[in-house]
Structure 1
Amino acid sequence: MFPTTFPAPIVPAADSVPALRWGILAPGGIAATFAEAVQAHTNQKLVAVASRSLDRAQNFARTWGIADAYSDYAELLASPDIDVVYIAAQQHVHRDLALQAVAAGKHILVEKPFAMNGAEAREIVAAARAAGTFAMEAMWTRYLPQTSVIAQLLADGVLGDIKLVTADHGQNMPVGHRVRALDSGGGALLDLGIYPIAFASQILGTPTAIHNVGSLIDTGVDAQSLLTCSYASGAQAQLNTSLRVRTPTTASIAGENALLQIGGPFFTPSGFTLSKPSFDGESIHWADESGIVGHRGLSYQATALAGYVDQSLTESPIHSLAETIAILDTIDSARWQLGYRFESEK
């Protein structure tokens, strides 16, 4: 039956979980965004930062009121005063830093993409499981209020059988941007397309077939992709990403009983519209009223992680490590179809 109201989002309150002591590896732009979100909307404690440049680490520490700054990642990882490490470096070093952190007995939150490919992700996961440490990809969208509401609607069967999922994420990345660089594992799929692909994975699971049409730029990385994915249920997904142009960055879930549409950018705190299946059917709208906007939404994943660690879990129950690997496998397939392979894959 088409609802008249929405379920309340199920997200843990910031003060309902223990305050873990966090260290940050690589204080770049996303690390600053994370620090701002965590300090504004959680009770988590940022206690250390490490960079290959001591000046950079010290400047970051002063900006965010962090006590300890290191010029060596190993020094931070050796500290007994750190519970969890946020790995905010570029993806070409995620594997090495994650393995070092796990070997030091630290829980890890690894910025997306979790690794360069599925093979590297499997290495990290195997090491974390052997060590008994918590590991999670920073797929922050999974922890937003809107995602909780959508998950409840799907679980309740409000949309009926899902037949089509669509999502896109394109940005006009300037020449010289790291996303255009081959040596750092750039390309639209790993940096931007991971959001649409993860969205489809959340709804439909792992595809049984992947067909990608796209192009490369002169550096050798993928510039644009249009994926059509098929699933065992008979559903399909159409997923688009580009580093050449800005796109609407919207998403939709089309079921036999209802259509759900998320405005752009769909992976940030926003809202969605649920419509009856007829062409001119009535609609109802849900809006995020938390007051946490934009990338401040990164705060939700930090609170969620602290709660999982408190429950003695070793991975996220709503974005498992198996799913993290499967999403990277999907990206691998899409890259390879365009002729974009890393040296280790040749």
Structure 2
Amino acid sequence: MTNNVRWGILGTGRIARDFATALRDTPGATLAAVASRDPATAAGFADEFDIPLRLEGYDSLAACPDVDLVYIGTPHAMHAENALSMLAGGKGVLCEKPFALNRGQAAQVVALARSRKVFLMEAMWTRFMPALDEVKRILASGVLGEVSQASADFGFVASGGPEARLFNPALGGGALLDVGIYPLSITAYLLGAVESVRAQAELGPTGVDLQTVFTLRHAGGALSTCACSLKARTPGLLTLSGRHGQLRLDAPFHRPPTLTLMLANAPARVIPTPYLGNGYVHEAMEAQRCWNEGLIESPAMTHEQTLHLMGVLDEIRAQTGVKYPGD
């Protein structure tokens, strides 16, 4: 183990570019390699980020001796296959959300990480933002009283034809897996595991969900309402409501610049929650900490939590009729 962690990037799309940008601001991170199926794309990405190794094909990254951790930023449908390959090569894995297309795929990946004793984490970056630490502190203080309800939404207007990633079922398209995972994951993190779910969706011509709304009952009895969309610009807020008022994660709630505490008979209080770089820095730091300490999972985003959330996503899709070739 070393304090300086050598990263490989799998994929060269927008999310991979965002993560590579974050690594520039991450203490102890070295961006050592990038892999793409297209050598010209890998070369262009490597030139942009001054990456010494530009590799053709994903398997070459799994076999690269100069890489410790791999960030997987490929389309949803490839996550499980890519993660299995990297883990088989002994690489630690930070896999972009959604972790896989379904719980069955996710369970295979987790089983391999555990058997090989190699680090694996879902890249739900919101969980590692400083704002979430402040939210947990405020909830623990009891200032809101019993928190029994939450609401969260994430919606934007997507463009592209039926073959575009967000509308293509072969690539795991749809609002739920792309952005619905955020309200699901964060409400479960703050209010407890999901005991039951009820969902409705509008499906598009290709069979993926254009928008989905679902309600959750959490362990302990709290309820939450969550919405996601590829056709509506929603407020992008998450609000926790208790006996004495509300705590709001301000827009965009998955990367909140501020929190707003609104208590009965008191003026609203805005709490700044600055973060490093573009926000992805914090999950990278956590992955590096776990790698350097020899952990195979993060206590803030455990394997069991990932499997639990994938199971809830499966149930939502079963209720709304969204199916993927990998199911």
Question: Per-residue displacement from partner, 1:270-315 (whole Å, max 9, x unpaired)?
Answer: 1111121x3x43332210245x46xx10011111111112222111
Q: What amino acid is aligned across from residue 31 of structure 2 in structure 1?
A: L
Structure 2 gaps, min length 5: none
Q: Is the 8 A contact 2:250 2:256 kept in 1?
A: no
Deviation at 1:269, TM superposition (A): 4.0
- Hey, what's the Cα distance between the residues in 2 that align with 1:324 and 1:196? 14
**Separation in 2 of the partners of 1:202 and 1:289?**
21
Taking structure 1 as the reference length, what is the TM-score of the superposition? 0.90
| Counterpart position of 1:88 | 73
- Cα distance in 2 for partners of 1:140, 1:18 equals 22
Q: Which residue of 1 aligns with 2:48?
A: 63
Output aligned runs, 1:3-42, within 5 Å: 18-42=3-27
* C-alpha distance in structure 1 between counterparts of 2:26 and 2:287, whole Å: 14
Counterpart of 1:8?
none
Distance 2:126 2:43 in 1: 30
Q: How does 1:1-346 map to 2 (within 5 A)?
A: 18-176=3-161, 177-276=164-263, 278=264, 280-290=265-275, 292=276, 296-345=278-327
Greater strand fraction, Structure 1 or Structure 2? 2
Other structure's SS at 1:329 match: helix
Give the Cα–Cα distance (whole angstroms) in 2 for the partners of residues 289 and 140 of structure 1: 14
Q: Post-superposition shift, 1:333? A: 1.1
CA distance in 2, matches of 1:57, 1:232: 45
Contact map agreement 1:269 1:297 (CA 8 A) in 2: no
CA offsets 1:93-149 (integer angstroms, 9 cap, x no match): 111110111111110000111111111111111110000000001100111111111
For 1:99 and 1:179, how far apart are their aligned partners in 2?
A: 24
For the aligned residue pairs, the C-alpha RMSD in angstroms reads 1.5
For the residue of structure 2 that corresponds to 1:186, the secondary structure is: coil
In 1, Cα distance between equivalents of 2:122 and 2:254: 15
State the distance in 1 between where 2:25 and 2:298 align: 23
What is the rounded CA distance, in whole Å, between the counterparts of 1:159 and 1:314 in structure 2?
A: 35
Shift of 1:206: 2.0
Deviations 1:15-53 (A, max 9, x none): xx9220011111111111111111134330000011000
SS at 1:147's partner residue?
A: helix
User: With structure 2 as the length reference, what TM-score do the two structures score?
Assistant: 0.95
- Structure 1 unmatched ranges of 5 or more: 1-16
Contact 1:145 1:269 in 2 (8 A): no
CA distance in 1, matches of 2:213, 2:274: 33
